[in-house]
Amino acid sequence: MKGRRVSLDRPSDADYELIADWLGPASQAAVMTADAGEYVTPDDLKQLNSTGRIRQFAVRTDDGRTVGTVNYRQQGPVGNFAIGGAIGDPELWQQGLGAEAFDLLIDHLFHARNAHRMQFTTALYNKGVLRMVTRAGFVLEGILRDHHYLDGAYHHAAIWSLLRYEYYDSLARQEQRNPSYVRPDVIPESAKAQAMDIMLNHLKRPQSETSIQLLLDDAAAAAASSAPGTR
C-alpha cells in the first residue's frame, strides 16, 4: 500500500525492534497514543501479527526509512475493526505522515477487506491526534472516563468510529471536489471493464466452450445416441 509520502509494508525483524521501542514505557509515542506503554518484545509483536490477533504494518517513507507503525484487529462481529498506531520519532510529528498512514490503512480495510465499521480510541490529552481525527470525518461515539493514567492523574479517552457508507460518501465528495481524484482501487475501473468485454465477446461466439454449452452438447449427444435407429 503506497501513498504520496509513505507506504505500509510487512514488518521486518528490524521493524519489530523499532516498534517494540515505540510502544515501550520510555517512548513518547506510546505516551501520546496510549497504544501500549508497557514492556513488549519484538517476538511478542511478531507472534501477535503471525496469529492475526493484531496485524502490524511498518510505515515507511519514500527513501525506505521506517518511521512508524499502524495496526488493526477485529473488534466484535465480522467486519468490525479497531485501529491504532504511531509515528515513532517526535520530530516527525505534525508533518502529515501519520494521517497518510491511517488513510492507507482505512482504505485497505474498507476497500479491500470489506470492513463495515472502524473504531479508533485516543486519549484526550493528545491534541495532535484529536486534531487529525476531528478533521477526518470520524464520528464521536463516547467518552471513556478516567481511562488513562498519566503524570499522576487520570485522563479521559474518546471513542471514534467510521461506517462503511460514510467512508464511500467521503470518496464521492472527493470525486466531486477534484475531478482528477482516483479511488484507491487495486485494479483500475477501465481494466475491469476491458476484462468484462473479453468475457462478453467470448460468450457471444457460437462455439464458445462455456460450462452450460458443454452440458447442452453432452445432453444432445446422449439423446442422439439413444434415439431409435442409431445402433
Per-residue pLDDT of 74-128, as tens digits, reads 988 999 999 988 888 888 888 889 889 999 999 999 999 999 999 999 989 888 8
71 and 38 in a common domain: yes
Report whether 88 contacts 18 (CB < 8 A).
Answer: yes
In a domain, 1, yes or no: no
Q: Compute the CA torsion angle 60, 140, 161, 134 (nearest 10 deg).
A: -30
Q: Sorting pLDDT into bands at 50, 70 and 90, what band is 23?
A: confident
Total structural domains within the chain: 2
76 and 15 in a common domain: yes
pTM over 0.75: yes
Per-residue pLDDT of 187-213, as tens digits, reads 888 899 999 988 888 777 766 666 777
Domain span at residue 149 reads 6-186
182 and 104 in a common domain: yes
Domain of residue 140, CATH code: 3.40.630.30
Report whether 171 contacts 97 (CB < 8 A).
Answer: no
In a domain, 142, yes or no: yes
In a domain, 57, yes or no: yes
Contacts 24+ apart (CB under 8 A), 70-74: 70/8, 70/101, 70/102, 70/104, 70/105, 72/105, 72/109
